[in-house]
Amino acid sequence: MTVPTGRATASRHAAPPPTEEPAIVADELVKTYGDVTALAGLSFTVEAGTVFGLLGPNGAGKSTTIKILTTLSTATSGSASVAGLDVRRNAADVRRAIGVVTQGSGTDPMATGRENLLLAARIHGMRGRAAKSRVDTLLEQFGLTEATRRIVKTYSGGMQRKLDVAMGLVHEPKVLFLDEPTTGLDPQARADMWAEIARLAAHERLTVMLTTHYLEEADHLAGRLLIVDRGEVVAQGSPERLKSELRGDAVVIELAPDADPARAAAAVGGLDATREVTVEGRTIRTRVDHGASAVPAVLAALEKQAVAAVTVARPSLDDVYLRHTGRSFAAAEEVTR
């Protein structure tokens, strides 16, 4: 068995080929479980060295996609390659090239952080001093040195998640998969994890594919985004581009309980300044060119309806999601729960 450290280091210093092959290619991935279609023909490409975000509500097909790409599951039809290797035909080689941080934890609660990392290193063929020094480097890098000798069961959620990521990196993979890396973390731990992922993206020639159902997280971390809903691609591109495709500002009107949402929406839609009016419960959303100058007109049109609040915001990924799927992200989450 070859020692992955050597190979990874070599490729890191080698001059990049003129046209670098994509880190991940998915071509028409379909996955069905009996009558349920989890993926309905998903295609996308991830350039090497980027952070790629897979964004969607619960049940959109994010985890299924990750499972297929990490060889845990096989697609019903379609094909995919990771690091230039077919996930079905070359599963064993794919496993050597990737690091995987699962949605759960993946660490042994009865082992110490160091023991967990050493086991991961040894499974990847590292031996003796090389394995130990790699483990010590990672413990230091992730600020886990003090917890080295404690069993993982005693770790906080944030520490455990850091150890998870460190385990995924032990063999210096080409592609790192992070499935919902910050779900369940408190705000401080989430901020730490964001910093960690941003650092990985900046300093190492590593491709990171992460899934999230937090819009702000995708916006913050990912260079490119794929928005999925019900197993299909809804939109893709950089967060900036996706947002700039939406002209103007978002105006959100919260109606008071006694107002009539349908009439209010009709009144708002009747204005020249407003576009793309949608209604969800007592919330009306619309887009305008200039938020500040449009609000008085909107309020005037709503004269007969009791308004609880009006907010004006620059386009967010929530708006991108709303525009492409016709429902707000929060509403999509509700439905799938």
Contact positions toward other proteins, by CB under 8 A?
Answer: 1, 67, 70-74, 92, 95-96, 98, 100, 102-111, 115, 119-120, 122-125, 151, 167
Q: What are the tokens at 243?
A: 């947002």
Quick check: 272 and 219 in contact, CB under 8 A? no
- Of the pair 89, 247, the CB lying nearest other proteins is at 89
Minimum distance of other proteins from residue 103's CB (angstroms): 7
Conformation bin of residue 166: beta by default, left when phi > 0, alpha when psi is -120 to 50? alpha
CB of 93 to other proteins, least distance (A): 9
- Reported as type and span, the H/E element at residue 284 is strand 283-288
Minimum Å gap between C-beta 124 and other proteins is 6
Return phi, psi of residue 33, to 5°: -115, 100
- Residue (138 or 295) nearer to other proteins, CB: 138
185: how many CB neighbours lie within 10 A of its CB?
18
Residue 207, strand partner residues: 175
One-letter amino acid identity for 166?
A
Question: 102 vs 283, which CB is nearer to other proteins?
Answer: 102
Exposed / middle / buried, residue 324 (Cβ in 10 Å: 0-12, 13-18, 19+):
middle
Write down the least CB distance from residue 72 to other proteins, Å: 5
Q: Can you tell me the distance from the alpha carbon of 88 to that of 78, in angstroms, rounded to the nearest whole number? A: 10
308 Cβ contact list (under 8 Å, min separation 6): 254, 255, 256, 282
Distance CA 329, CA 272 (A): 27
Task: State the nearest-atom distance from the C-beta of 100 to other proteins, in Å.
Answer: 4
DSSP structure class, residue 146: G
Q: Which of left, alpha, beta for 326 (phi over 0: left; psi -120 to 50: alpha)?
A: left
Looking at the Cβ atoms of 96 and 213, the one nearer to other proteins is 96
At its nearest, how many Å lie between other proteins and the CB of residue 185? Answer: 15
Give the residue with the Cβ less far from other proteins, 92 or 292. 92
Nearer to other proteins, 108 or 140 (CB): 108
CB of 14 to other proteins, least distance (A): 23
User: By C-beta, is 80 or 322 nearer to other proteins?
Assistant: 80
Retrieve residue 192's tokens: 């730490």
